[in-house]
Amino acid sequence: MEELRILHEDIKNHPWRINNDSNPIYLADYRKLLYDFLDTFYQESKKTIYYEKYRNGGFYHDFRRAIGYVGEENAWWAIDHVDRCIQYIHMFLDTGKFNKYATFYDGCHNYKSAYSLRIYEWDDIKQNYFPIYKKDELNNIIKEIEEYKIKNGKFADKGLYSEIYYNNYISFKENFYYKLID
């Protein structure tokens, strides 16, 4: 855990971060620090109850992808997402708990009504992460899948508009396996 703390301090005090210095050497060094930080967190988290539950949830993949865009023109989302992920790992350093994580998806395979940012929160009772949705987002996603089914006469065989995805969202809604926020 000490190596993770040192990397966290190095990131906080890095010249590229502090001054937004455009020197490409600083940017490359900053990205390398971020990759090392993420990989070290990943190894540390393997020792916790959280690892098995978050590892397939997209946190590692999306954080790693965002790091590659840090410093690129028009990639504001990348630095926002990286900072958000650093905060979650900072809480892990302070408390030993990884109670929240975020994914950021801007690819083409997403619902029109879904937000790109998805935050997952740990539930101590269920010992798992559950998504947090904006108030009408979940209903709009369900409606979008239903409209797809009506238009095409059936659910898709796989992917976003499949019956499996539809049932998952209905289960979230009916069993309150999600949190609604404004």
CA pair distance 26, 127, nearest whole angstrom: 40
Query: What pLDDT was estimated at residue 22?
Result: 73
Q: Is residue 71 part of a domain?
A: yes
Q: Residue 13, exposed/middle/buried by CB under 10 A (0-12, 13-18, 19+)?
A: exposed
More confident residue, 25 or 113: 25
Q: How far apart are the first and last CA of the chain?
A: 36
Q: Is residue 38 part of a domain?
A: yes
Q: Is residue 80 part of a domain?
A: yes
More confident residue, 165 or 39: 39
Q: Is residue 159 part of a domain?
A: no
Q: What is the pLDDT of residues 136-158, one digit of tens each?
A: 888 888 899 999 999 999 999 98
List the domain range (segments joined by +) for residue 30: 2-104
pLDDT band for position 112 (cuts 50, 70, 90): low
- The domain total for the chain is 1
Whether the pLDDT of residue 63 is over 60: the answer is yes
Whether the pLDDT of residue 88 is over 90: the answer is yes
